[in-house]
Amino acid sequence: AQKITQTQPGMFVQEKEAVTLDCTYDTSDQSYGLFWYKQPSSGEMIFLIYQGSYDEQNATEGRYSLNFQKARKSANLVISASQLGDSAMYFCAGGESYNTDKLIFGTGTRLQVFP
């Protein structure tokens, strides 16, 4: 069974600085995907970025990049040039290709960006 661990309950970053949100995972499946979602105070879950287990390059989507270290089983989200609108909860989630349909979510990290 998969497990997702986010050890940072809260993070602060100054506007325009970069911040890294940590995520480690544990899975027995050889084929899996790791996802990051943003949940602003309004409550919706917004997909940010995806990394497949067989992808050799780290995923990037605009200001978001994923620092994927397979041997360490980590998939950290890097947000560059933080903006005030980045203040939100961030969830790391994992999905397996064969064993299960579901996404397993971590407990989330609350990011606050200050001016």
Partner 1 sequence: EPEVTQTPSHQVTQMGQEVILRCVPISNHLYFYWYRQILGQKVEFLVSFYNNEISEKSEIFDDQFSVERPDGSNFTLKIRSTKLEDSAMYFCASSEGLAGDDTQYFGPGTRLTVL
Taking the C-alpha atoms of residue 97 and residue 74, their distance in angstroms, rounded to an integer, is 18
User: Is 68 one of the binding residues for partner 1 (CB under 8 A)?
Assistant: no
User: Is 44 one of the binding residues for partner 1 (CB under 8 A)?
Assistant: yes
User: Is 96 one of the binding residues for partner 1 (CB under 8 A)?
Assistant: yes
C-alpha distances (whole Å) from 115 to each of 13, 14, 28, 34, 80 are: 9, 6, 42, 31, 15
Task: Compare residues 82 and 91 and give the one whose CB is closer to partner 1.
Answer: 91
CB-based contacts of 42, cutoff 8 Å, min separation 6: none
Shortest Å distance, C-beta 19 to partner 1: 21
Binding footprint of partner 1, residue count (CB under 8 A): 29
Burial of 50 (0-12, 13-18, 19+ CB in 10 A): middle
User: Is 80 one of the binding residues for partner 1 (CB under 8 A)?
Assistant: no
Shortest Å distance, C-beta 14 to partner 1: 26
User: Is 60 one of the binding residues for partner 1 (CB under 8 A)?
Assistant: no
Shortest Å distance, C-beta 103 to partner 1: 6
